[in-house]
Amino acid sequence: MPRIALGQIEVQWGRPDTNLSRALWAVDQAHRQRADIVVLPECMDLGWLAPGAVTQAEPLGGKRTQALQEAARSGIYVVAGLTERSGDRVYNTAILINPDGSVALTHRKINELPEGQELYTRGTALTAAPTPWGLAGIPICADNFMESIALGEALGCMGVRWLFSPCAWAVPPGDTQSQDEYLSYWLTPYAHLAQSYGMSVVAVSNVGVIRGGAWDGWHCIGSSVVVGPDGRESGRAPYGAHADALVVVDIPNGEQGNDDAGD
């Protein structure tokens, strides 16, 4: 079973070089701690809803993608959320990179929130890729809402056993709910998918303060979490706008089936 690193990095809105450096640090640290895969947040290059995305977004294969590919060649799988330019469109995209640096899987967020629909074009496809631990999908954040649970269910019907989900979980300034109260919203759909399809869900959010856009001033609060196929947590990262952390979670042997691995 994989050793999973939750790359709960701080994202600074509209500062791609700073964010990429932080992401590469997380990949390096995950490799040093013998993780098999590291998952990074949604739009980790620019920040979700970053107004500058219109001009700052890069095509896949650009320098940010290439830097992540080079980092993966140290011998680790990397999942990252990126702001993708394709022609005159911008997508909220996730990629899965193999340890040889090749991009195994690309996903464009489908259930983009209303706040993001003027900025991001929604994706129109669900795909999966083999890993040594079974088929993997990389749905992004709200793709896993209960309201859009059919997306995760479709991946489950395709035989996916791992959902690696880049996220950008945020709360308004002054929010006082506890980490358990916040996570209860997400654990409901994760437990449903896990128990219904025997899959594990790994969701990783960034931390930091959103600058610009409809959620200007909101706090991204981490709380990255791993949910096993029994619907229970296997690990979580700390909660808060300043809770920058790399948390490595060992999945116990026998917790996950491997019937769909690597073909």
76 strand-pairing partners: none
Q: Can you give the pTM of this predicted structure?
A: 0.95
| Separation of alpha carbons 222 and 235, rounded Å | 13
Sign of the Cα pseudo-torsion (64, 13, 39, 154, in order): negative
Q: What is the CATH number of domain 3-250?
A: 3.60.110.10
Provide the annotated active-site residues. 42, 109, 141
Percentage of the chain exceeding pLDDT 90: 94
For the stretch 143-187, pLDDT in tens is 999 999 999 999 999 999 999 999 999 999 999 999 999 999 999
CB 107 within 8 A of CB 93: yes
For the stretch 68-107, pLDDT in tens is 999 999 999 999 999 999 999 999 999 999 999 999 999 9
Q: Where are the domains of the chain?
A: 3-250
For the stretch 205-247, pLDDT in tens is 999 999 998 999 999 999 999 999 999 999 999 999 999 999 9
- What are the DSSP calls for 93-142, one per residue? EEEEE-TTS-EEEEEE-SS--GGGTTTSPPP-----EEETTEEEE---GG
Give the amino acid at 60: L
pLDDT of residue 146: 97
For the stretch 28-79, pLDDT in tens is 999 999 999 999 999 999 999 998 999 999 999 999 999 999 999 999 999 9
Strands 3-8 and 245-250 turn out to be antiparallel
